[in-house]
């Protein structure tokens, strides 16, 4: 039996949380109730990738009930302790304030290779996109620009080993260029392999040029998209999912977020004018908060990561179980056209 199934057993989880979480909250005396809600539940014979929410009600010494949402992110193969170390580092930084909410790291379980943390509660940006709440979308996009500016301005710690090596460059970002090409060839033969290979090689080479020109790196989220941006209060924005957090080029977060923002708006509304306006709002707000000028170098890097993210989305459509090659082909053609016409990410 796969050991991860224990984290879906209320008795096992209750004992685990009482042992690990109660000491972190001295005013809490015991757990009154526990509800288990899986967000990701990929479980095979011996391997797994799960994200599980535990909605827990604690009783405190005053007899009051306290409700917390605790999340476990566990993977049989990928390094989840890195996530815990990143969250501990950010907890000590000045990133979290009255305007920015972050998950609180609780503990790491070597038994399950899982990080447990207190969730940032609220609705994600994608929810508001789906609901068509344009004013809320605009506000959250502006807040997101402030959040990413603050994140990118954090100093690097002396010990960079707390961050994953794999996610620091486009060549190795999980699952990696070579594995992607191999799996596409296995499934589709040579139909898409040449295009995907050439585009990945171009993106990797362009990034290397920039990295060779400077020793500077910035802390980036690495997976900037609307589902990871949370409305954590009337005037507070939250950030979740730190699996890909690493030192790299801050333009990666900008380009990725703009592409994913456009993708979600087009998917739910098919409104290119709205998508372009929201991309432009995000970029304009980021530049204003950061005090940066959009020079040719920064524009080229944003475009690079925007196009890379579009191809990453295409590979997702090709490699998922119920693949959608037509959507992937459209993205591949769009990126090729972007490179020929020098179309910018915000256009």
Q: Which residues pair with 219 in a beta bridge?
A: 247
Last residue of a domain, one of 102, 118, 134: 118
Task: Tell me, yes or no, whether 167 and 30 share the same domain.
Answer: no
Would you say residue 322 lies in a domain? yes
Res 79: pLDDT:
85
Nearest to 73 by CA among 10, 161, 7: 7
How far is Cα of residue 265 from the mean position of the Cα atoms in its chain?
18
Res 59: pLDDT:
98
Task: Tell me, yes or no, whether 95 and 229 share the same domain.
Answer: no
Res 93: pLDDT:
95
Q: In the structure, what pLDDT confidence band is assigned to residue 175 with cuts at 50, 70 and 90?
A: confident
Task: Tell me, yes or no, whether 208 and 327 share the same domain.
Answer: yes
What digits encode the pLDDT tens for the residues 197-239? 999 999 999 999 999 999 999 999 999 999 999 999 989 999 9
Task: Tell me, yes or no, whether 239 and 294 share the same domain.
Answer: yes
Biggest CA pair distance of the chain = 67
CATH code of the domain in which 178 resides = 3.90.1200.10
Instruction: Show the tokens assigned to 38.
Output: 């899986």
CA dist., res. 65 & res. 14, Å (int)? 16
Helix axes 296-319, 193-213, angle to 10 degrees: 150
Nearest to 282 by CA among 132, 123, 97, 149: 149
Q: How many domains does the chain have?
A: 2
Task: Tell me, yes or no, whether 280 and 330 share the same domain.
Answer: yes
Would you say residue 163 lies in a domain? yes
Would you say residue 169 lies in a domain? yes
Q: pLDDT averaged over the chain?
A: 96
Q: Which residues contact 252 (CB under 8 A, 6 or more apart)?
A: 220, 222, 301, 305
Res 295: pLDDT:
98
CA dist., res. 7 & res. 54, Å (int)? 10
Q: Which residues pair with 114 in a beta bridge?
A: 74, 109
Mean pLDDT of 251-260: 98
Express as a percent the part of the chain with pLDDT over 70.
Answer: 100
Task: Tell me, yes or no, whether 221 and 328 share the same domain.
Answer: yes
- The DSSP code sequence of 213-236 is H----EEE-S---GGGEEEEETTE
Expressed in percent and rounded to 5, the helix, strand and coil fractions of the chain are 50, 20, 30
Would you say residue 346 lies in a domain? no
Task: Tell me, yes or no, whether 145 and 97 share the same domain.
Answer: no
Would you say residue 347 lies in a domain? no
What digits encode the pLDDT tens for the residues 50-97? 999 999 999 999 999 999 999 999 999 988 999 999 999 999 999 999
Task: Tell me, yes or no, whether 143 and 269 share the same domain.
Answer: yes
Task: Tell me, yes or no, whether 35 and 110 share the same domain.
Answer: yes
Task: Tell me, yes or no, whether 91 and 149 share the same domain.
Answer: no
Task: Tell me, yes or no, whether 190 and 150 share the same domain.
Answer: yes
Would you say residue 87 lies in a domain? yes
CA dist., res. 80 & res. 192, Å (int)? 32
Would you say residue 134 lies in a domain? yes
Res 174: pLDDT:
83
Task: Tell me, yes or no, whether 109 and 175 share the same domain.
Answer: no
CA dist., res. 326 & res. 321, Å (int)? 15
Last residue of a domain, one of 98, 118, 138: 118
Res 234: pLDDT:
87
Instruction: Show the tokens assigned to 227.
Output: 């589902």
Strands (E), the chain: 28-43, 48-60, 65-75, 100-101, 104-109, 114-118, 123-124, 218-220, 229-233, 236-239, 246-248
Would you say residue 35 lies in a domain? yes
Question: Which helix or strand (DSSP H or E) is residue 149 part of?
Answer: helix 134-152
Res 209: pLDDT:
98
Res 164: pLDDT:
86
- Long-range CB contacts (within 8 A, 24+) of 308-311: 308/170, 308/203, 308/255, 308/256, 309/255, 309/256, 309/259, 309/260, 310/259, 310/263, 310/334, 310/335, 311/196, 311/199, 311/200, 311/203, 311/335
**pTM of the full predicted structure?**
0.95
Containing domain of residue 229, as a range? 123-341
Last residue of a domain, one of 83, 118, 153: 118
């Amino acid at each position: 039996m796969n050991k991860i199934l224990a984290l879906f057993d209320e008795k096992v989880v209750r004992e685990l949380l009482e042992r690990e979480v109660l000491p972190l909250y001295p005013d809490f005396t015991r757990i009154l109730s526990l509800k288990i809600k899986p967000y990701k539940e990929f479980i095979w014979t011996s391997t797994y990738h799960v994200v599980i929410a535990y909605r827990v009600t604690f009783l405190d010494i005053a007899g009051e009930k306290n409700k917390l949402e605790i999340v476990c992110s566990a993977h049989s193969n990928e390094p989840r302790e890195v996530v815990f170390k990143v969250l501990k580092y950010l907890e000590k930084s000045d990133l979290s304030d009255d305007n920015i909410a972050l998950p609180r790291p609780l503990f790491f379980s070597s038994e399950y290779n899982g990080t447990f943390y207190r969730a940032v509660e609220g609705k994600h940006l994608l929810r508001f996109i789906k609901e068509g709440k344009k004013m809320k979308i605009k506000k959250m996009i502006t807040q997101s620009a402030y959040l990413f500016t603050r994140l990118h301005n954090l100093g690097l710690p002396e010990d960079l080993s707390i961050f994953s090596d794999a996610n620091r460059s486009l060549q190795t970002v999980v699952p990696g260029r070579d594995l992607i090409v191999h799996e596409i060839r296995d499934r589709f033969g040579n139909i898409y392999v040449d295009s995907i290979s050439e585009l990945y090689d171009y993106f990797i080479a362009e990034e290397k040029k920039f990295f060779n020109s400077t020793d500077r790196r910035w802390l980036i989220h690495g997976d900037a998209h609307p589902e990871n941006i949370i409305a954590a209060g009337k005037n507070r924005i939250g950030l979740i999912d730190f699996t890909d957090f690493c030192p790299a080029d801050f333009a990666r977060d900008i380009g990725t977020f703009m592409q994913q923002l456009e993708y979600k708006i087009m998917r739910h509304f098919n409104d290119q004018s709205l998508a372009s306006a929201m991309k432009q709002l995000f970029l304009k707000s980021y530049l204003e908060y950061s005090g940066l000028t959009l020079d040719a170098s920064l524009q080229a890097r944003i475009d690079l990561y925007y196009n890379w993210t579009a191809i990453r989305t295409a590979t997702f459509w090709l490699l998922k179980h119920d693949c959608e090659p037509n959507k992937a082909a459209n993205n591949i053609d769009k990126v090729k056209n972007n490179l020929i016409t020098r179309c910018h990410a915000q256009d």
